[in-house]
Amino acid sequence: MTHPQARRDFLWSLGGLGGIALADLLARQGLLADPPRPDPAFNGGLHHRARAKRVIQLFMNGGASQIDTFDYKPLLTRLHGQRFDPGEHVEAVTSTPGNLMRCPFPFRRHGQCGRWVSSVFPHLARHVDDIAFLMGVKSKSNVHGPASYLMNTGFILPGFPCLGAWLSFGLGNLSDNLPTFVVLPDARGLPYNNQGNFSPGFLPARHAGTMIRVNSPTPIAALHPPQNARHITRASEADGQTLLRELNQQHLLQNPGDSRLEARIAGYEMAARLQLHATEALDVTRETEATQRLYGLGQSPMEAFARSCLTARRLVERGVRFVQVWSGASGASNNWDNHTSILDELPAMARQTDQPIAALLTDLKSRGLLEDTLVVWSTEFGRMPFTQGVEGRDHNGGTSVGWLAGAGVRGGMAVGESDAWGWKSVSGHDVHDVHATILHLLGIDHERLTYRHNGSDRRLTDVHGHVVHEVLS
């Protein structure tokens, strides 16, 4: 009886860490079957040639206002202050719809392509020629919880694997020294849904995102023993590793035929390597002063997000497959959920992220990493063209803007559009299309990356999703 999935589970049972080493180990023992594996002929893709090898996703938690950033709507300037009457039912989930409100920030054309970007993103605006904008991305929900799950997992319910977990499952790792999938939360706290957004769902737990709090003294849980455990020393750790290996080897001899035992031995060796390499990878002071300045390190208010962006680059450079960087914690402030005042709340968030994101693009490009690194900018939904209260905007699942840059992406273009008010998507792209496109760039056919759970062959894109071919270079 053969169960390819079982072989695969053994193989990748070291998760992000050391899948390759173990794969070799097991291959030598003839335990390898033929699960879909990254194919060198496809440049590491599963089903066709991969354009991207790794991904950095920048997630703006709270629902970044498309109208006030990238989706220029001159009609709103004309109709500012008037009642919104599109000829059909209008509702907002947390408020009574107010009058139409123009973007309070000036829009200007940028780059050779002439993309419209509002004044809140002066640094990023210089990169529009490298960016493909998705102008009318709709959601299925107007509520943070379900919409954030949707944008991360393709489902509005908790318990489904997120994009990073699917990539870990499908493509495995690029490095034996660092995790495959890393999450850098906002320094101020976790996003709506907390860790639910980066859950492996029903995929094996090893595909979970490793949370790294780059602004904390202990960025990775349990990476090192607690400080107060004085009996644990460098020498006791080194001798302990040796002793453990000896005990386990002896046990292995007495219990042959169980690859899990070997996998577990390898797991401890990889843990030791992670201790070494993670510490180095997270040390941004090893960067030149110019690089640190470029991102905005040491400068208020972008310091924290700059550290995340620079860390993200260091991680992908060292073989992390997928890094998700969060801007914004859950709650009434310090995020993109600008219910009260677009005028006050949005520029603050934009300032924190504008320079670091622009620097990330510059830095990746100058190192040649942008060739095979995909950068994705996402948010769970957009905001309404009319006011909430005096000058805020309520949630809008009808349309939002996201963008892609880097590996395999045609820059300086935009695809899709919203209606004249920025209320609903006209082109009808949705999160499944975004996911299908990202998977496509990584050499994966989104309909063929599946996992059976409780009676269904589950996909990241559920039963939906079309690759947005226009954005491919």
Query: How would DSSP label each residue in 246-315?
Result: HHHHHHHHHS-S-HHHHHHHHHHHHHHHHHHHHHHHT-GGGS-HHHHHHHTTTSTTTHHHHHHHHHHHHH
CB atoms within 10 A of CB 224: 13
SS3 label, residue 406: strand
* Nearest to other proteins of 114, 240 (CB atom): 240
208 scored as a contact of other proteins (CB under 8 A): yes
Query: Do the Cβ atoms of 295 and 360 come closer than 8 Å?
Result: yes
Q: Binding other proteins by CB under 8 A: which of 303, 317, 450, 466?
A: 450
Site for other proteins in 294-333 (CB under 8 A): 329-333
Stretch that binds other proteins, among 50-58, 104-112, 422-430, 446-454 (CB under 8 A): 446-454
Residue 428 binds to other proteins (criterion: CB under 8 A): no
Residue 293 binds other proteins (CB under 8 A): no
Cβ proximity to other proteins: between 273 and 293 the closer is: 273
Q: Which stretch binds other proteins (CB under 8 A): 98-106, 123-131, 407-415, 454-462?
A: 454-462
Indicate whether 17 belongs to the interface with other proteins (CB under 8 A). yes
348 binds other proteins (CB under 8 A): no
Is the distance from CB of 51 to CB of 443 less than 8 angstroms? yes
- The partner residues of 327 in beta bridges, in order of sequence, read 60
Angle among Cα 400, 417, 111 to the nearest 5 degrees reads: 90
Name the segment binding other proteins (CB under 8 A); options: 51-59, 299-307, 350-358, 452-460.
452-460
Please say whether the beta carbons of 402 and 413 come within 8 A: no
Instruction: Give me Rg for the CA atoms of the chain.
Output: 23
* Among the residue ranges 75-83, 128-136, 201-209, 311-319, the one whose residues contact other proteins (CB under 8 A): 201-209
N residues, the chain: 473
Q: CA separation (Å) from 241 to 30, 102, 193, 235, 342?
A: 28, 63, 38, 10, 55
**Contacts with other proteins in 151-180 (CB under 8 A)?**
156-160, 179
For residue 13, give the DSSP letter: G
* Among residues 192, 381, 421, 423, the one that binds other proteins under rule CB under 8 A: 192
Which range, of 65-73, 77-85, 115-123, 185-193, touches other proteins by CB under 8 A? Answer: 185-193
Residue 208 CB, nearest approach to other proteins (Å):
7
Provide the terminal-to-terminal Cα distance of the chain, rounded to the nearest Å.
Answer: 45
Taking a C-beta distance cutoff of 8 angstroms, is the pair 181, 17 a contact? no
**Quick check: 377 binds other proteins (CB under 8 A)?**
no
Which of 21, 111, 447, 467 binds other proteins (CB under 8 A)? It is 447
Which residues within the stretch 214-253 sit at the binding site for other proteins (CB under 8 A)? 218, 220-226, 229, 231-233, 235-236, 239-240, 243-244, 246-248, 250-252
Per-residue binding string, other proteins, 257-286, x by CB under 8 A, is: xx-xx-xxxxxx-xx-xxx-----------
The residue (of 170 and 408) whose beta carbon lies closer to other proteins is 170
Closer residue to other proteins, CB minimum distance, 43 or 275? 275
Q: How far is the CB of 145 from other proteins (least distance, A)?
A: 4
Residues 71-100 that bind other proteins (CB under 8 A): 91-95
Distance, CA of 289 to CA of 310 (rounded, Å): 12
Distance CA 63, CA 41 (A): 40
